Structure 1
Amino acid sequence: MITLYGVLRSRAARNVWLAKELGLSFTRVPVIQAYRLPDPLAADAPLNTASPAFRAINPNGRIPALVDGDLTLCESFAINLYLARKHGGPLAPADLREDGLMTMWSLWAVTECEPHGLAILLHSGGERSESDRRTVATAIETLRPAFAVLEAALRKAGGFLVGGRFTVADINVAEVLRYAQPATAFLAEHPAIGAWLNACQARPAFREMMAERSTEPA
């Protein structure tokens, strides 16, 4: 039995989306981020990333973490790539070439896009200060070269990242780009990315995951 540790308002959402796509049976233990609690080590604190019980699973104190038999994994994309490879099917790499491409796009999303997408997410919405607006503008300008690369790749590949079909690579990259979606005007400049994101987020497994996520405290 697979056990996944983490709340859905975290990178664990990526793993739950994939697990639902694969139809996997799994148990999810809702571990919350320690920074969201006034005293994460209090006796009555919920299980969180500072809890000794969770640190025994992931000493890094980060969610998500996965336990599958005698294997423990952390890092959301490592978990997704492992699950896709283990369970196979169209979401998994069909050969070594596809495996390399799926790994490449996953690492690309983390290094080229994730920090800047998070800056957009965290500084958008509500009443924004001038500092917030500058932060978002800087993040958008930093993302422009990466978005140009992705836009061209999606056009060339026919709408998905690898093999002309929806795969784990699309889940991984789409979940990173979800952070940048508040920048609607910027996304509108990249129609292939917009169409791809819409296709990814229209999938029943994504919608089911997001519906569950919406029930968690913000």
Structure 2
Amino acid sequence: MTLKIYGIPGSRAYRTFWMALEMGVPFESEPVFYAKPESITPEFLKANPNNRVPAIDDEGLTLYESMAINLYLARKHGGPLAPTNLAEEGKALQWSFWAMSELEANSLQLAMHRMFLPEGQRDPAKAEAANAALQKPLAVLEQALADQPYLLGDRFTVADLNVAAVLSWARTVKIDLGAFPKVEQWLTACLGRPAAGQARKGKAA
């Protein structure tokens, strides 16, 4: 049975598509989009009764929450993206939770008021406030990358993928990275990976 991923690339499901493609895990895409009620099936609601994407069905195991899914896939399939010891696992958990608590809300607020909302509903003040609020966590990320190219050291891992996926709209919505050259270099490397580009199509290569 193939891994089934519920969602579309223009949602948080992008993170799971990217992870599966990085790891070479075959998957089936089930497009679920809140604006198309007909795409919300009983099978999807069984996988995530919260009616949010992504969710997966992996040989009968259902999971939701993008960070949990990606950490699960890393643990199950191993390889270079997976933590190699308890310390790395702790750091991968730390950075994944940090991305959700420190980056996501303001990144989404910025995206909404600079790109996603209709022009007349956008509030430049809210966008600027979100951009300003992101400067503190970006400084934390800059410090973490001061002496190493990736969050766990010398190799790209699930920790990098999870954090970079949250910041994947950075250039589109003009998050100010001017004071954070290490972050900009790291984000360019992460989003420049072939699997990151392929994930925007929401299907296996």
TM over 0.5: yes
The whole-number CA distance in structure 2 between the counterparts of 1:130 and 1:148 is 30
Contact 1:120 1:179 in 2 (8 A): no
TM-superposed deviation, 1:11: 0.8
Question: Are 1:122 and 2:123 counterparts?
Answer: no
**1:29 maps to amino acid:** E
How many residues in Structure 1 have an aligned counterpart in Structure 2?
A: 200
Q: Which residue does 2:179 correspond to in 1?
A: 189
TM-superposed deviation, 1:16: 0.7
State the TM-score, normalizing by the size of structure 1. Answer: 0.85
Question: Are 1:28 and 2:29 counterparts?
Answer: yes
The whole-number CA distance in structure 2 between the counterparts of 1:202 and 1:171 is 12
Contact 2:114 2:122 in 1 (8 A): no
Question: Which runs of 5 or more structure 2 residues have no equivalent in the other structure?
Answer: none
| Pairs within 5 Å for 1:156-167 | 156=147, 158-167=148-157
The whole-number CA distance in structure 2 between the counterparts of 1:64 and 1:185 is 24
- Find the residue that maps to 1:160 and give its secondary structure: coil
State the TM-score, normalizing by the size of structure 2. Answer: 0.90
Q: Which of 62, 81, 90 is residue 80 of structure 2 equivalent to?
A: 90
Q: Which fold has the larger relative contact order, with Cα–Cα distance below 8 Å and residues 6 or more apart in sequence?
A: 2
TM-superposed deviation, 1:94: 0.5
Larger radius of gyration, structure 1 or 2? 1
Moved over 3 A (4+): 125-131, 182-185
Contact 2:4 2:28 in 1 (8 A): yes
Contact 2:11 2:53 in 1 (8 A): yes
Question: Which runs of 5 or more structure 1 residues have no equivalent in the other structure?
Answer: 214-218
Percent of aligned positions with the same letter in both sequences?
Answer: 44
Question: Are 1:138 and 2:139 counterparts?
Answer: no
Contact 1:81 1:168 in 2 (8 A): yes
Contact 2:115 2:173 in 1 (8 A): no
Q: Which of 160, 165, 168 is residue 175 of structure 1 equivalent to?
A: 165
The whole-number CA distance in structure 1 between the counterparts of 2:104 and 2:112 is 12
The whole-number CA distance in structure 2 between the counterparts of 1:61 and 1:130 is 25
